[in-house]
Chain A
Amino acid sequence: MARFFKESKQWIRHLLGCGIFLFPLYSNAKALKPEQLWSLQPLSQTTVPKIKSEKVRNEIDRFIQNKLIEKGITPSPRAGDATLIRRLHLDLHGLLPHPQTVKEYCENKDPKKYPNLIDKLLANPRYGERWARHWLDVVRYADSNGFETNHERNSAYHYRDYVIRSLNQDKPYDQFVFEQIAGDTCGADEATGFLVAGPKDIVGGKDPLLRKQQRANELADMVGVTGSAFLGLTVGCARCHDHKFDPVSQSDFFSMQSVFEGVRLGERPINQEISKEKLQKIAQTEEQIEEIEASLLQYKPKGKQVPRFVWMDDQDMTFVSHFYKKNGHGDNPKGKARGFLDDPGSAKHSPNLSGGSYTWWTNKSGVPAVSYQAAVEGTYRVWLSWGSGWSTHTKDARYLLDQDGKIETTDDRTEIATINQQLLANGAGKIISKPLWSGLQDCGTHSFSTSSKILVCGGNSGGALTTDLIILERADKSVPVRRFEPKVKSTLNEDWFHPVTTISVRFTIGQTNNGIEPCIDELGIWSSEGERANLATRKALVKSVTSSGNFRGSPKHKLAHINDSKFGNDHSWISNTKNTGWIEFTFKQPQRIERVTWGRDKNGKYKDRTPSTYYIEVKNEKGEWIEVASSSQRQPTTAKDKDGNSLFAFEHLDSEKKAKARTLLDKLAAGKKALDELKKKPRAWIGSFSQPSPTRLMHRGDPLSPREVVSPVSLSAFTQRIPEYALDKNSPEKERRKAFAKWLIDPKHPLTARVMVNRIWHYHFGRGIVATPSDFGDMGFRPTHPELLDWLASEFISQGWSVKQMHRLILQSYTYQQASEPRTEAISIDAGTELLWRFPPRRLEAEAIRDNMLLLSGLLDEKMYGPGFLLFEPNANYARNWIPKDDVDEKDFRRMIYNMRIRMEQDSVFGAFDCPDGGQSAPSRARSTTPLQALNLYNSSFTEKIADAFSQKLLKQTDDSTKQALLLGFESIFGREPNLKESTTASRYVEEHGLAAYCRVLFNANEFLFMP
């Protein structure tokens, strides 16, 4: 006895040697050495015990019954067919079998019906939906951020779908593991949702300590969950100090952290195979665009209607397509200097026409970022502009004209210009580190077809490429433009042109801003010579002023006011026709002029009646009118409103046709935008990766106490057991995760296979061979059947890590097929059924209860995958206030795996059934019994609704025979016929209270809620 005590005390000291966790006195106790921890030892080459028993179906039974024999317990009899089919359906699908299926199975005489049933169930996609839930528990998956803001993650479901698909495909487990750590390196992007499935505190604040702490917590979560999910090792316990029990040092923790150091919680574009529906939609949209373009063809300018100018802003999707994602915009600084926001321009350069900002892109050498398509035919002068002022911009941006507009063909490209984007147009200006508009640079004339595109390609230098306005000017005009003008203003406008000698000047109005008679308060015609004075007011020079017609009835408005040097409404001219009118000046002698000024009301009081479309002509020596300026050299009033100035000519149309044509133009822009959207890669909550700086060990886990640098190297406890990896502290981010993942799935790894087969066992029997599925360390349970665990792990690896094969093996064992009824003599030896002398019955999980209620009532929507449904009221408060929905409808009737899991919050009915809250990994669920479960399941409006639907379905199936309906209900839900007492008691109740009330009771019965 003395020895017994002595030895025991050692063990107790040892087990209490958890230092600060349990007992400070023993804090000096050393953690186990790797060779002392059972789970780190190589898989043993176990011999299957030889036993004599008729109740053996495979090797599993030999291990189990061998132990039972030792303890003097006999196995239970095999369960009946009805129980087995129910058990298998609930276990593999989480859904009850149809009574007819049960009946057929029981009557089936095929000796292979049981294994056939297993195969059938495993091949059904309902299997993946059921088992994905188990894995999602382990990896703390949820569809919200957690913490007080708890914003929803609308794109997290891609990972959930990945898990379902992987299980249904029977993806080999080693591949499944690899993809979740490094799926971005092997075409399984969604898989890395695993890394970032944990909570994220988005309340940043301005306190640097807080932000460091938050980041440290994110990384610790990744390390902790990776360790427990795949290794069954509580690596997370070594964050502040070496692990108290297991051979995991603090340095191991941070070394593993360095593997994930470059992983950020958030979204990333997803490389997904484009679905058929989507491809179809793309083709449809492309077709629609072609159709619209075809119908617009009639408005393509012909002859004289060919536009003189085409304005193509880089943000106007009517002209522009993007090849990759822009980085952002450079906003021109306020001020009037060259290239600044309010640069007024000069006679020689245009005012700032950029709209106040340019777009910038990552410079990719030779790669096009943007294309401009004017869809005009003929020879055009190209005016380029870009963003300048920074030394980071490329010095040799290339502008190419692609004749056929097809990016694939490159032999039809000619270079228009190579531009130094650090400087202003024509190399003017200096690098002043401010985002400037370059101004327009004349890049010569080029020949265009309607399909031609101008491509802006990255240069060989610099980090940024910029884009801005491009203008095409028809080259066949005799008088080229010197300056492009901003939008029309009601106060005063200037129109500059190359100096020209003429005797007559005509100002013609085509449209006003509000559709009524146009008004002009003063029109000036300026000489290009001498004092460059306004000649219109020199009565001695002017022969006549005529107009198309004058507004009558007010002395304020007279033709004589047009050159009286007085401004404002009270001294103005108004035409007598809506929208249109003209004024013609004839001089006594030819004059050389360069500028016309005009306005509606220089005082700024009136803004109506302003000409928005106009042109200015001069008479040449031959007596022909030549256009020298027009509203089309002005920036369009809005980007979308081309008003026929450029791509299409609408001016000659009546208002109805014009409106129709404009609608088409809008549709074109919308169609192009939609196409871009469709072709864009979707983004998913699967994390983003960037190269991190070297990881440092943090003293006591405090992110403010950095110590030595640690590199990504394999955990020290496995040294010389399996192939190691040791990467440099600056090794590429992806290489780290790849190396770690490869190390995890090495067939010699003692933990990876053991942990997974134990999880599979755990979900089949309700308890693992190791009862702590995520802790194979010293604090965890020891395996009840260590040899069986090792045998299963070896099988798992040799069968190609096939999860479905493990299911088959376990389900085909006699052990699994035993009856579940308790036996007194066995209970007295093993009350917890740890030795599996029977199949341990257990309560269904929340998901299975809800799914089955929907299934029974005929309401279950079997739609798979995609965005989930929300069981809370939608909410936009910054700190989300999630209130459970009172009423549910069809869209909420999918399986619960598709329910958007809001971290910490619980569904109002089923949350009480031990649903994990997503805060921490949940390797096994509690199975508690609470009065709230009873209240929710008995009284909720959900139950009422479903009971009602169930009763109606039953009546329909039995031609309104209440008696038949209640029997069918009993059979559907319990999988057996009622005995006489049960049927008479039920009948009495139904007679008095109706079928729906009876269905409500059935949903609450233990026989429904327990897996037999």
Chain B
Amino acid sequence: MKPSRQPKELSPAGMSLLNRRSFLKHSSTALGSMALAGLLANDGLLGAPIRPEILPERPYAPRKTHFPAKAKQVLLIYCTGAVSHVDTFDYKPELYKRHDTPLPGAVNTFQGENGNLIRPLWDFHPRGNCGKMTSDLLPELGSLADDVAYVHSLTSKTNTHGPGETYMSTGFILEGFPSMGAWTSYALGTENENLPAFVSIPDPRGNPQASVNNWSNAFLPAQFQGTPFSASKEIRNLQAPARFKGKADRDGRDLLKFFNESHLQRFPGDSELAARIAGYELAARMQTSIPEVTDLSDEPDYVLKEYAADDPKNQSRAGFGKNCILARRLLERGVRFVQLFNGSYAMGEGVGNWDGHKSIKAQYPGHANILDQPAAALIRDLKRRGLLNDVLVVWCTEFGRMPTFQKGASGRDHNPAGFTAWMAGAGVNAPFTYGATDEFGWKAEKDVLTLHDFHATILHLLGLDHERLSYYHNGIERRLTDVHGHVVSDLIA
């Protein structure tokens, strides 16, 4: 899409129709748009797409919300590999009673036949003042219960990891659709134009299974793709090659600017050319701002300790702890959307992420150890610094796991029929529990939600109407929520 100076308030079809009728002399003049917007408001016909006005030279400038927002920024903690909800946040006492008996109505799941129901592998205890039952696997995250709204009735459309992750991030199980963060930065720009609007922090062990799908811009302009970097892995090509460093680099930029400006004189007012000049200036600022934000040397020891970022025994844990600190620093500096991954691609069954088909009891404590303290420390720290007033925290995974063990194994198979995610922070109704799975924790039963509903609610908290945040692509006004989604008002404070 070529950036246009004129806001286009209408779908292309609308523009074209109006053109044809000679309704407006000049299709894309501000007058036309204003007239039409007025017309719509007049008739109560709200619902047309709202197109963000993107300035070519300042593509990340903050933009207006559709209505007043409850949250300004998002922190998405994404545990990949499918966390078992019945062993963490979804307490099912029936599983103790029916331990080692068959699941009524059991079917073949991803890896085939299921064995008997298995009680939670870690015991549950009441947490916080609200007394929410969560398990001993993640005690630190459990202790935040008073600030959390749990959603136990999410459902996914697929039971394979890649499409599942993609669905959680983009609203589609197929490839080629923009991610949540891309939609958000497209709609809202960012508060700090010296940093990318959307940062994706991969797990220190590697990229998640659906990889770039999780931060893809797809058909949205490339400005809005997530920029992946972490405390240990910086942006590619951020710094000049050694031989061009220093004065050669700075003088080179001046020479480039000189060439570009003299070229621009032949094309006065060309916004695309101007935008490229601005792009180089922003890149230069990022060369300073990104090392500044990723350099944790000014963090005091007690902070490193609190986040377990100093763990000498477990590099993955220390690495994730540092990523948690980085997430806080990015949010402090106004980055719009921070996506923090816990879990990478599969390096073998149950290694690298929360997949657990064979021996969940042996594998999960390792994953929990990496996640629990650093992530809990991050949320506490955000609260202490007052950032939770602006930041919406979302904890999610691609789908849940079966309340049974797989036949002949000591692990649980994939379960897209019911699973848990939770929210905390700005605009969230907490403490609160929404929806429920059946007595076994298998299928969502009460207040069943699709991920579209979940996405609609997140956008709503950001002041965006999920039905009006759209982008024309191949014949359709595409949305994060496809053609579905309802805002869950119970989750909103």
Contact of B34 with A by CB under 8 A: no
- Whether B12 contacts A781 by the Cβ 8 Å rule is yes
CB-CB contacts below 8 Å: A837-884 with B = 841-843, 877-879, 881-882, 884
- Given A777-B475, A878-B346, A931-B286, answer yes or no on A829-B276 (Cβ-Cβ < 8 Å): no
- Whether A20 contacts B483 by the Cβ 8 Å rule is yes
Contact of B122 with A by CB under 8 A: no
Contact partner, B240, options A829, A938, A998, Cβ 8 Å: A938
Nearest-neighbor residue (CB-CB) of B478 within chain A = A21
CB-CB contacts below 8 Å: A778-803 with B = 778-782
- Given A882-B211, A935-B238, answer yes or no on A928-B223 (Cβ-Cβ < 8 Å): yes
- Whether A207 contacts B159 by the Cβ 8 Å rule is yes
- Whether A210 contacts B110 by the Cβ 8 Å rule is yes
Q: Please name all residues of chain A whose beta carbon is closer than 8 Å to the beta carbon of B13 when the two chains form the complex.
A: 15, 245, 778-781
- Whether B251 contacts A201 by the Cβ 8 Å rule is no
- Given A913-B222, A919-B218, A933-B279, answer yes or no on A993-B239 (Cβ-Cβ < 8 Å): no
- Whether A772 contacts B475 by the Cβ 8 Å rule is yes
CB-CB contacts below 8 Å: A238-291 with B = 245
Shortest CB distance B409–A (Å) = 13
- Given A228-B475, A245-B13, A920-B474, answer yes or no on A931-B279 (Cβ-Cβ < 8 Å): yes
- Whether A1010 contacts B273 by the Cβ 8 Å rule is yes
- Whether B273 contacts A1001 by the Cβ 8 Å rule is no
Report how far A1007 CA is from B261 CA in the complex, Å: 10
Nearest-neighbor residue (CB-CB) of A235 within chain B = B475
- Given A148-B162, A206-B110, answer yes or no on A928-B252 (Cβ-Cβ < 8 Å): no
Contact partner, A939, options B43, B240, B476, Cβ 8 Å: B240
Nearest-neighbor residue (CB-CB) of B260 within chain A = A1006
- Whether B263 contacts A21 by the Cβ 8 Å rule is no
Report how far A989 CA is from B251 CA in the complex, Å: 7
- Whether A22 contacts B160 by the Cβ 8 Å rule is no
CB-CB contacts below 8 Å: A7-48 with B = 7-9, 11-16, 18, 20-25
Nearest-neighbor residue (CB-CB) of A927 within chain B = B2
**Majority-rule SS of A interface residues:** loop
Contact of B293 with A by CB under 8 A: no
Q: Please name all residues of chain B whose beta carbon is closer than 8 Å to the beta carbon of A936 when the two chains form the complex.
A: 236-237
- Whether A11 contacts B475 by the Cβ 8 Å rule is no
Contact of A645 with B by CB under 8 A: no
- Whether B14 contacts A15 by the Cβ 8 Å rule is yes
Report how far A774 CA is from B473 CA in the complex, Å: 10
Could you give, for residues 169-191 of chain A, a 1 whenever the CB lies within 8 Å of some chain B CB and a 0 otherwise? Answer: 00000000000000000000000
- Whether A779 contacts B12 by the Cβ 8 Å rule is yes
Report how far A1009 CA is from B263 CA in the complex, Å: 12
Contact partner, A929, options B161, B276, B473, Cβ 8 Å: B276
- Whether B110 contacts A935 by the Cβ 8 Å rule is no
Contact partner, A938, options B158, B162, B283, Cβ 8 Å: B283
Q: Chain B interface: which of A474-482, A492-500, A901-909?
A: A901-909
- Whether A14 contacts B238 by the Cβ 8 Å rule is no
Q: Please name all residues of chain A whose beta carbon is closer than 8 Å to the beta carbon of B96 when the two chains form the complex.
A: none
- Whether B474 contacts A904 by the Cβ 8 Å rule is no
Contact of B21 with A by CB under 8 A: yes
CB-CB contacts below 8 Å: B238-288 with A = 238-241, 243-244, 247-248, 251-252, 255-256, 258-260, 262-264, 266-270, 272-273, 275-280, 282-283, 286-287
> Of B176, B212, B225, B235, which is in contact with the most chain A CB atoms at under 10 Å from its CB?
B176
Q: Please name all residues of chain B whose beta carbon is closer than 8 Å to the beta carbon of A23 when the two chains form the complex.
A: 45, 47-48, 467
Report how far A908 CA is from B212 CA in the complex, Å: 12
- Whether B221 contacts A906 by the Cβ 8 Å rule is no
Contact of B174 with A by CB under 8 A: yes
- Whether A926 contacts B219 by the Cβ 8 Å rule is yes
- Whether A779 contacts B5 by the Cβ 8 Å rule is no
- Given A206-B109, A935-B235, answer yes or no on A832-B279 (Cβ-Cβ < 8 Å): no
- Whether B345 contacts A5 by the Cβ 8 Å rule is no
Report how far A833 CA is from B112 CA in the complex, Å: 59
Could you give, for residues 751-787 of chain A, a 1 whenever the CB lies within 8 Å of some chain B CB and a 0 otherwise? Answer: 0000000000000001100011011011111100000
Contact partner, B260, options A201, A207, A829, A1005, Cβ 8 Å: A1005
- Whether B345 contacts A25 by the Cβ 8 Å rule is no
CB-CB contacts below 8 Å: A595-624 with B = none
Shortest CB distance B22–A (Å) = 11
Q: Please name all residues of chain B whose beta carbon is closer than 8 Å to the beta carbon of A914 when the two chains form the complex.
A: 221-222
The count of residues in chain A whose C-beta lies closer than 8 Å to any C-beta of chain B is 119
CB-CB contacts below 8 Å: B1-56 with A = 1-6, 10-21, 23, 26, 28, 36, 39-40, 43, 45, 47-49, 56
Nearest-neighbor residue (CB-CB) of B208 within chain A = A148
Shortest CB distance B234–A (Å) = 11
**CB contacts between A and B, total, < 8 Å:** 337
Contact partner, B251, options A14, A930, A993, Cβ 8 Å: A993
Shortest CB distance B249–A (Å) = 8
- Whether A15 contacts B39 by the Cβ 8 Å rule is no
Contact partner, A879, options B20, B209, B218, Cβ 8 Å: B209
Contact of A392 with B by CB under 8 A: no
Report how far A944 CA is from B248 CA in the complex, Å: 13
Q: Please name all residues of chain A whose beta carbon is closer than 8 Å to the beta carbon of B221 when the two chains form the complex.
A: 914, 926, 928
> Of A146, A210, A777, A996, which is in contact with the most chain B CB atoms at under 10 Å from its CB?
A210
- Whether B111 contacts A147 by the Cβ 8 Å rule is no
- Given A774-B474, A927-B2, A931-B282, answer yes or no on A1001-B256 (Cβ-Cβ < 8 Å): yes
- Given A206-B111, A780-B12, A930-B222, answer yes or no on A201-B47 (Cβ-Cβ < 8 Å): no
- Given A205-B111, A920-B219, answer yes or no on A781-B475 (Cβ-Cβ < 8 Å): no
Contact of B216 with A by CB under 8 A: yes
- Whether B282 contacts A1004 by the Cβ 8 Å rule is no
Shortest CB distance B221–A (Å) = 4
- Whether B252 contacts A997 by the Cβ 8 Å rule is yes
Contact partner, A12, options B14, B19, B287, B345, Cβ 8 Å: B14
- Whether B252 contacts A919 by the Cβ 8 Å rule is no
- Whether B252 contacts A205 by the Cβ 8 Å rule is no
- Whether B174 contacts A919 by the Cβ 8 Å rule is yes
- Whether A205 contacts B279 by the Cβ 8 Å rule is no
- Given A12-B39, A929-B56, A935-B235, answer yes or no on A985-B110 (Cβ-Cβ < 8 Å): no
Contact of A827 with B by CB under 8 A: yes
Could you give, for residues 969-981 of chain A, a 1 whenever the CB lies within 8 Å of some chain B CB and a 0 otherwise? Answer: 0000000000001
- Whether B18 contacts A11 by the Cβ 8 Å rule is yes
Report how far A1001 CA is from B280 CA in the complex, Å: 12
Contact of B447 with A by CB under 8 A: no
- Given A210-B158, A944-B241, answer yes or no on A1007-B176 (Cβ-Cβ < 8 Å): no
Report how far A149 CA is from B345 CA in the complex, Å: 10
Could you give, for residues 814-846 of chain A, a 1 whenever the CB lies within 8 Å of some chain B CB and a 0 otherwise? Answer: 000000111010010111100000000111000
Report how far A20 CA is from B5 CA in the complex, Å: 30
10 shortest A-B CB distances, which residue pairs?
A919-B176, A148-B162, A234-B475, A919-B175, A920-B176, A934-B283, A782-B16, A928-B221, A206-B112, A23-B47
**Could you list 18 A-B pairs, sorted by A, with CB under 8 Å?**
A12-B43, A15-B10, A15-B17, A21-B476, A148-B161, A228-B475, A234-B474, A237-B475, A772-B472, A775-B475, A782-B20, A920-B219, A928-B3, A929-B272, A931-B282, A989-B251, A1005-B256, A1005-B263
A-contacting residues of B (Cβ < 8 Å)? 1-6, 10-21, 23, 26, 28, 36, 39-40, 43, 45, 47-49, 56, 59, 108-112, 157-163, 165, 173-177, 196, 206-207, 209-213, 216, 218-223, 225, 227, 235-241, 243-244, 247-248, 251-252, 255-256, 258-260, 262-264, 266-270, 272-273, 275-280, 282-283, 286-287, 345-347, 467, 470, 472-477, 479, 483-484
B-contacting residues of A (Cβ < 8 Å)? 4-5, 7-9, 11-16, 18, 20-25, 146-150, 199, 201, 203, 205-208, 210, 213, 217, 228, 234, 237, 245, 766-767, 771-772, 774-775, 777-782, 820-822, 824, 827, 829-832, 841-843, 877-879, 881-882, 884, 903-906, 908-909, 912-914, 917-923, 926-936, 938-941, 944, 981-982, 985-986, 989, 992-994, 996-998, 1000-1002, 1004-1007, 1009-1010
